[in-house]
């Protein structure tokens, strides 16, 4: 098997800067983790993190309209799904014709082992780009060839006013060392354990994608509890709250959704729908670590959010911010008016030996459906 050489993040930034790219926006992926760490440290290209891929496409469009220059827009290949609407109705040459260099990570690359949520998109990534009419190149590990690939993209932009994509395989970007600062004493895993200790066992629990679901699964394992009450989301970032609302409106069970700040920010419209529907026995827990910890710790925009005012303005009956284990221990779920929001401020850290659910997504679904029907 051929060994993939790695590109240094400094090389990438240097090449982009040399070729006139001065603006980048997008939603993080673990494949871009080290590139984004370096980019944030050196600040040589203006970087505006987005809450969704669709937002990133619109941001890039605004940059082009105001400067005439070409934006860089990064996304995981799963994010192509979120970006299809602006790519076809905003950037496409048959509409406004906006040139943009898309940096697309290739999770679920055929022939490579990856998580279930990446398999389908991994198979159809190149087909999807072709269907969208977006030409692409798979990024080379050689600096000279990367230069050539970017030159090909620039030549394309000279003839066409529409997007061009560069596909990045897993492991092609060289790791960058970075130290994460611990700002609070509470970890997400400790918070999840404390939450589970408060439950009676008849509550339905939905956990957002990433390490939140992995930690909930291991918590159940360590406590020797069954997994029937839990729906572990894989992929579909931002959708756990809407899924939980669907359960709450059609089940007699009390529903808890364990969400993340990045997930909530991606699809904030869900909150208004929850507030409008006023589900009974519904608790929305947001683990706010001010970052996308599951993809490498890139910062989110949660630092500017007044969570209590946000949730209350959208119809939630109660919203409380928790900053310590002591405060969390004092919380009584049975006395909180629904729908309720509990925002838990926590560290951006997790165990290096954190495992993954051993159940398949279909097994999780079937167990959860049986639990809801009891």
Burial of 161 (0-12, 13-18, 19+ CB in 10 A): middle
The residue count of the chain comes to 374
Q: Which of 221, 165, 156, 157 is nearest to 189 (CA)?
A: 221
Q: How far is it, in rounded angstroms, from Cα 142 to Cα 245?
A: 48
Split at pLDDT 50, 70, 90, the class of 26 is very high
Q: Which of 80-84, 185-189, 199-203 has the least mean pLDDT?
A: 185-189
In the DSSP assignment, the letter for residue 319 is E
Mean pLDDT to the nearest integer, 158-186: 82
Res 346: pLDDT: 92
Q: How far is it, in rounded angstroms, from Cα 321 to Cα 88?
A: 40
List pLDDT tens digits, range 330-362: 999 989 999 999 999 998 888 888 889 999 999
List pLDDT tens digits, range 302-327: 899 999 999 999 999 999 999 999 99
Please check whether residue 195 is in contact with residue 256, taking contact to mean a CB–CB distance below 8 angstroms: yes
Residue 67 C-alpha from the chain's centroid: 29
The H-or-E segment that residue 284 falls in is: strand 282-288
Domains of the chain: 9-169 (3.40.50.970), 188-373 (3.40.50.970)
The H-or-E segment that residue 259 falls in is: strand 255-260
Q: Which of 164-168, 235-239, 252-256, 266-270 has the least mean pLDDT?
A: 235-239
Res 1: pLDDT: 35
221: left (phi over 0), alpha (psi -120 to 50) or beta: alpha
Residue the block writes with tokens 């939603």: 27
Residue 171 C-alpha from the chain's centroid: 19
Alpha carbon separation from 231 to 8, 213, 367 (Å, rounded): 39, 8, 9
In the chain, what percentage of residues exceed pLDDT 90?
Answer: 78
Split at pLDDT 50, 70, 90, the class of 179 is low
Q: Which of 24-38, 61-75, 138-152, 195-209 has the least mean pLDDT?
A: 138-152
- Asked if residue 109 has pLDDT above 50, the reply is yes
Res 336: pLDDT: 93
Res 177: pLDDT: 65
List pLDDT tens digits, range 271-284: 999 999 999 999 99
Helix axes 116-131, 79-89, angle to 10 degrees: 20
C-alpha R_g of the chain: 21
Residue the block writes with tokens 């006139």: 20
Res 116: pLDDT: 87
């Amino acid at each position: 098997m051929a060994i993939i050489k790695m590109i240094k993040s400094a090389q990438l930034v240097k090449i982009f800067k040399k070729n006139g790219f001065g603006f980048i926006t997008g939603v993080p992926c673990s494949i871009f983790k080290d590139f984004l760490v370096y980019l944030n440290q050196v600040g040589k290209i203006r970087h505006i993190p987005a809450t969704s891929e669709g937002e990133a496409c619109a941001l890039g469009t605004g940059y082009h309209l105001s400067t005439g220059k070409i934006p860089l827009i990064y996304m995981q290949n799963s994010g192509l799904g979120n970006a299809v609407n602006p790519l076809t109705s905003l950037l496409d040459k048959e509409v406004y014709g906006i040139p943009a260099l898309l940096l697309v990570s290739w999770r679920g690359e055929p022939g490579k082992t990856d998580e279930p949520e990446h398999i389908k998109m991994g198979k159809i990534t190149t087909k999807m780009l072709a269907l969208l009419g977006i030409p692409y190149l798979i990024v080379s590990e050689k600096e000279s060839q990367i230069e050539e690939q970017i030159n090909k993209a620039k030549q394309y932009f000279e003839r066409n006013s529409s997007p061009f994509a560069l596909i990045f395989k897993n492991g092609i970007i060289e790791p960058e060392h970075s130290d994460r600062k611990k700002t609070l004493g509470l970890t997400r895993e400790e918070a999840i354990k404390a939450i589970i200790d408060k439950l009676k066992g008849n509550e339905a629990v939905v956990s957002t994608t990433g390490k939140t679901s992995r930690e909930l699964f291991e918590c159940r394992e360590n406590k020797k509890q069954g997994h029937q009450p839990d729906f572990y989301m894989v992929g579909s970032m931002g959708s756990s709250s809407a899924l939980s609302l669907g359960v709450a409106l059609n089940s007699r069970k009390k529903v808890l959704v364990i969400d993340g700040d990045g997930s909530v920010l991606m699809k904030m419209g869900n909150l208004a729908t929850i507030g409008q529907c006023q589900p009974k026995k519904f608790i929305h827990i947001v683990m706010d670590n001010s970052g996308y910890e599951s993809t490498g710790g890139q910062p989110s925009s949660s630092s500017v959010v007044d969570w209590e005012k946000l949730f209350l303005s959208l119809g939630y009956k109660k919203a409380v911010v928790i900053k310590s284990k002591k405060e969390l221990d004092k919380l009584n779920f049975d006395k909180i008016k629904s729908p309720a929001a509990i925002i838990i401020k926590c560290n951006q850290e997790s165990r290096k030996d954190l495992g993954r659910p051993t159940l398949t997504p279909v097994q999780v679904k079937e167990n959860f459906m049986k639990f809801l029907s009891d």
